[in-house]
Amino acid sequence: MIYADNAATTRMSRTAMDAMLPCMREVWGNPSSLYGFGQKAAEALEEAREKIAACLGASTPKEIYFTSGGSEADNQAILSAAENGAKQGKKHIISTAFEHHAVLHTLKKLEQEGFEIELLDVHADGMISPDQVDRAIRDDTALVTTMYANNEIGSILPIAAIGAVCREHRVTFHTDAVQAAGHLPIDVQKENIDLLSLSGHKFHGPKGVGVLYVRKGVSLRNLIEGGAQERGKRAGTENVPAIVGMAAALSEACSRMAEDTNKVVAMRQRLMDGLAKIPHSILNGDPEKRLPGNVSFCFEGIEGESLLLLLDDRGICASSGSACTSGSLDPSHVLLSIGRPHEIAHGSLRLSLCADNTEEDVDKILQAVPEVVAYLRSISPLWMDKMSGKRPFILS
């Protein structure tokens, strides 16, 4: 099997598993218990907090809060900033049209509660400029939330510059860094980030665990009532093995980042260059300012779902932007946000590589995708119409 869907989830690393096992076999006490056995678990937890704080450049481990994943961290960050803003009569929130649903759906909820949500238009190359943020900020802006890197088209936003704009206007800045953490260097202080979300399973850690970084001085609202874990901001007995595994995975990813990036970018480049040769295709996102492992294309005249199923038959795990998971036929909001017409957005393919992939994987993908695209076109009545000139081509 060739796994090329690392933006959906990653295989857990050996390092993460090795760090987790002792937390299940030996150090399985409750970190809130006062006896030494429980305190051993509490120590493991604090060690994990320190490691993660160091990877993000946080000023103290106290700024790290553990959550059940990226979605919860996004929810908590946005709802907290909204509540803080509302207390001062600020109910305007700025975000972008291509955020993850964990962000967009939380904003939708706030809109129903009377907040004004302004989604910035994404430029055709998949970018948001600091200028757009600057122009959108008002006296009653409670929060700016823009993702660090997009999960579908891979674009990396100018986070440090957006952070600087927010700091200048004293507006709280949150970034969903789920795709970036462990893949791009992050420094929350240098980049003026107030709130940041990440998720363990996107960098070879376990699923169901994540982090919300909260700059000292930004007040946090708890979403789950109960015990006093996470300094009263997130009740529930901590998932110590997962937290320890996540910290080990992030530390490893950060220490190997330079070499992994070189390897992955070389494979991505070859994949991008090869797939660009398919006629009537288009690359999604910026050719350079993109996540190391992300390749995203639209192919005219095919359905992304059919492409995925045929690639699966050939042992290749990939993804499409279409929202097939929701059972709807709506194309991806991300592809629509960069101006792809519906018909084109339906024919999308996302391949996301990691350092475990090989050049041989790339060879096989480069063999399979053009063949499958050609086959699907050959059986498409729509494609026949385009070939005979009855309908125009959209992509050159």
Ligand X SMILES: *Cc1c(COP(=O)(O)O)cnc(C)c1O
The tokens for 192 are 């003026």
Sheet holding 281-283, edge to edge: 281-283, 294-299, 348-352
Give the CA count within 13 Å in the CB-facing half-sphere of 126. Answer: 26
Cβ distance 6 to 317 under 8 Å?
Answer: no
Minimal distance, residue 169 CB to ligand X, in Å? 25
* Cross-strand partners of 297: 283, 349
Minimal distance, residue 385 CB to ligand X, in Å? 37
199 binds ligand X (CB under 6 A): yes
Give the CA count within 13 Å in the CB-facing half-sphere of 139. Answer: 1
CA angle, 129 then 134 then 140, to 5°: 135
The stretch among 65-73, 138-146, 156-164, 226-234 that binds ligand X (CB under 6 A) is 65-73
Cβ nearer to ligand X, comparing 53 with 242: 242
- Running DSSP on this structure, what letter comes out for residue 36? H
The tokens for 241 are 């093995």
Cβ nearer to ligand X, comparing 179 with 320: 179
Could you confirm whether 324 is annotated as catalytic? Answer: yes
CA 243 → CA 45, 49, 238, distances in Å?
7, 8, 8
CB atoms within 10 A of CB 18: 11
71 binds ligand X (CB under 6 A): yes
- 55, 254, 298, 324: the catalytic one is 324
**Cβ-closest position to ligand X:** 70
The stretch among 89-97, 171-179, 327-335, 361-369 that binds ligand X (CB under 6 A) is 171-179
Task: Give the footprint of ligand X on residues 175-194 (CB under 6 A).
Answer: 176, 178-179
Cβ distance 332 to 323 under 8 Å?
Answer: yes
Q: Which of 51, 100, 204, 386 binds ligand X (CB under 6 A)?
A: 100
271 binds ligand X (CB under 6 A): no
Minimal distance, residue 167 CB to ligand X, in Å? 23
Which DSSP string corresponds to 43-81? HHHHHHHHHHHHHHT-S-GGGEEEESSHHHHHHHHHHHH
Binding map of ligand X across residues 39-58, x = CB under 6 A, - = no contact = --------------------
Minimal distance, residue 162 CB to ligand X, in Å? 16
- Residues with Cβ within 8 Å of 167's Cβ and at least 6 positions away in sequence, in order, are 173, 192
The stretch among 173-181, 234-242, 302-310, 377-385 that binds ligand X (CB under 6 A) is 173-181
290 binds ligand X (CB under 6 A): no
76 binds ligand X (CB under 6 A): no
Q: Which of 31, 70, 130, 321 binds ligand X (CB under 6 A)?
A: 70
Cβ nearer to ligand X, comparing 210 with 304: 210
69 binds ligand X (CB under 6 A): yes
147 binds ligand X (CB under 6 A): yes
Minimal distance, residue 95 CB to ligand X, in Å? 13
Minimal distance, residue 352 CB to ligand X, in Å? 10
Task: Give the footprint of ligand X on residues 335-354 (CB under 6 A).
Answer: none
204 binds ligand X (CB under 6 A): no
Task: Give the footprint of ligand X on residues 208-267 (CB under 6 A).
Answer: 210
CA 114 → CA 86, 108, 146, 283, 383, distances in Å?
10, 10, 21, 38, 47
Which DSSP string corresponds to 262-322? HHHHHHHHHHHHHHTTSTTEEE-S-SSSB-TTEEEEEETTS-HHHHHHHHHHTTEE-B-SS
Size of the site for ligand X (CB under 6 A): 14
Known catalytic residues?
Answer: 324
- The residues that touch ligand X, with contacts defined as CB under 6 A, are 69-71, 74, 100, 102, 147, 151, 176, 178-179, 199, 202, 210
